[in-house]
Amino acid sequence: REVQASQRSVAIIAEMIHTASLVHDDVIDDANSRRGKMTVNQIWGERKAVLAGDFILSAASVALARIGNTTIISVLTQVIEDLVRGEFLQLGSKENENERFAHYLEKTFKKTASLIANSCKAVSILGCPDPKVHEIAYQYGKNVGIAFQLIDDVLDFTSCANHLGKPTAADLKLGLATGPVLFACRQFPEMNAMIMRRFSKPGDVERARKYVLQSDGVQQTTYLAQRYCHEATREISKLRPSPEREALIQLTEMVLMRDK
C-alpha cells in the first residue's frame, strides 16, 4: 500500500532527531570528522554546533506536532529522552563484569535502538489499529537497532579510517569499552584496569586494541549481532507475507554485511 503522509513525516522526524544527536555527539566527543567530512563543531565551533543541533530538534518537534496525534508525539518524544539518558550512561562505567555488559547494552538501546524501535512503532500505529502489530514493529526495530550498533562497534576495530568515514579506535580514545573490548576482557583480565581508568594512560589505547584483535572479541560481538538480527527476523515474520516484510528481513542481513 501507499505510504501515508503522516508515516512519511515520522521517517523525516526520525532522521532529524538522528542528525541532531550526531551533531551533539560530535561536540561531546570533540570529533573532527563524520562520514569522511569535517564535523559542524570543527567548522563553526562548539557553541554554534550545539545551537544547530537544538535547531534541528526544534524543527522535528514542529513537524511532530503537525501530525496531530498525541500517541505518536508520546512515542517519538521518548526517543529524545532515551538519547539523553543514553549519553549519561555513556559517561559512567561499572566495576562488575556482568553489570558492565548490561550497562553497555542498555546504553546501546537508549542511544541507538530506541530511535529505530519507536519509529517503527509510530508508523505501525498510523497504519494499523492492532496493538500486537505495534509490539512486533517495536521489537523488530529494537533488535535491528542493537545489532546495527554492535556491528558499528566491530567496524571501529576492523575497518580503515577512510572506509569508515571517521577515525578508527575512536571509542577507545573516548574511554569507551564497547562489545569487542568487553568480550576481550574475559581472555585478557589485565584490561579491567584499563577499562576502569577509561584508557587514559599513555599506551592504553594501542594495548587495548592489540588485545581485542588477539582475542575473539570481534567474532563474539558479530555473533551477538547475528542473534539480535535473527530475533528481529523472528518478530517481523509474525506478520503476513508481503514484499515489505521480505524487504525488512533483507534489511537485517544488510545490517550484518555492511562494512562502513
What pLDDT is stored for residue 148 in this prediction? 98
pLDDT tens for 201-223 read 999 999 999 999 999 999 999 99
Return the percentage of the chain with pLDDT > 90, whole number.
90
Closest CA to 150 of 88, 104, 87, 89: 104
**Please, what's the largest Cα pairwise distance for the chain?**
57
pLDDT tens for 81-113 read 999 999 999 988 777 888 999 999 999 999 999
| Cα 113 from Cα 175, distance rounded (Å) | 22
What pLDDT is stored for residue 166 in this prediction? 63
C-alpha cell at 4: 501515508
| Cα 1 from Cα 8, distance rounded (Å) | 13
Give 258's DSSP letter.
Answer: -
For the cut 60, the answer to whether the pLDDT of residue 78 exceeds it is: yes
Q: Cβ distance 27 to 41 under 8 Å? A: yes
For the cut 70, the answer to whether the pLDDT of residue 161 exceeds it is: no
For the cut 80, the answer to whether the pLDDT of residue 76 exceeds it is: yes
* Domain coordinates in residue numbering, the chain: 1-68, 81-257
What pLDDT is stored for residue 162 in this prediction? 61
What's the rounded mean pLDDT across residues 121-142? 98
Indicate the class that CATH gives domain 81-257: mainly alpha
Q: The dihedral of CA 174, 13, 75, 139: what is its sign? A: negative
Q: Which pTM does this prediction carry?
A: 0.94
Cβ contacts of residue 226 below 8 Å, gap of 6+? Answer: 147, 256
Cβ contacts of residue 163 below 8 Å, gap of 6+? Answer: 259, 260
